[in-house]
Amino acid sequence: MITSEVLHIERSNYLATVTDLKSQGYEMCIDVAGVDYLTHPGRELPEGVVPGRYEVVVNLLSLGNRSRVRIRVQVPEDDPTIETLFFLYPGSEAMEREVYDLVGIRFKNHPDLTRILMPEGWEGHPLRKDYSMGAVPIQFKSVNGAG
């Protein structure tokens, strides 16, 4: 059976905590995701955790210990940045680029923080809750003189 736990850590302790977890045998970074809580500011968090607009969620796996850990870090709207995990887990590079591209959270010291899904000239971050969806007008025309 694989054990699992969730850690809510301060952004300032993020890199040190992940470094410590890697030394404990969490050899795989399974996922890095970004969440925008603009429309859910009152979500449930453990006592003492100050909610930020954004959250970075990292899932680490230890095959040897048969355990996984989910790390949740609050990221404020006025400074949506966090350290990169690239130098600990090189496979996190593309996942961090995706979070940057779609949510707009910047990863400090990332070797190539460029768009990965959207075109380079794209404005904005499509998974932000305040991102304008826009609209394309649809024009209908009659077929064979009907309607």
CB 72 within 8 Å of CB 52: no
CATH code where residue 17 lies: 3.30.460.80
- Has residue 30 been placed in a domain? yes
Gap between the Cα atoms of 84 and 40, Å rounded: 26
State the pLDDT at residue 139.
65
Q: Structural domain tally of the chain?
A: 1
- Has residue 68 been placed in a domain? yes
50 pLDDT higher than 90:
yes
pTM to 2 decimals? Answer: 0.87
Give the tens place of pLDDT for each residue, 2-43: 788 999 999 999 999 999 999 999 999 999 999 999 998 888
- Has residue 78 been placed in a domain? yes
Choose among 55, 116, 45, 53: nearest CA to 82.
55
CA torsion sign for 131, 136, 137, 143 is negative
State the pLDDT at residue 132.
83
- Has residue 84 been placed in a domain? yes
Q: Which domain holds residue 21?
A: 3-108
CA angle, 115 then 119 then 122, to 5°: 90
Three-state SS for 45? coil
CB 101 within 8 Å of CB 113: no
- Has residue 127 been placed in a domain? no
- Has residue 120 been placed in a domain? no
DSSP string, 51-102: P-SEEEEEEEEETTTTEEEEEEEEE-TT--EEE--TTT-TTHHHHHHHHHHH
State the pLDDT at residue 12.
97
State the pLDDT at residue 3.
85
Phi, psi (degrees; rounded to nearest 5) at 63: -70, -40
- Has residue 133 been placed in a domain? no
State the pLDDT at residue 2.
79
Residue with tokens 């899932």: 59
Choose among 49, 69, 52: nearest CA to 103.
52
- Has residue 48 been placed in a domain? yes
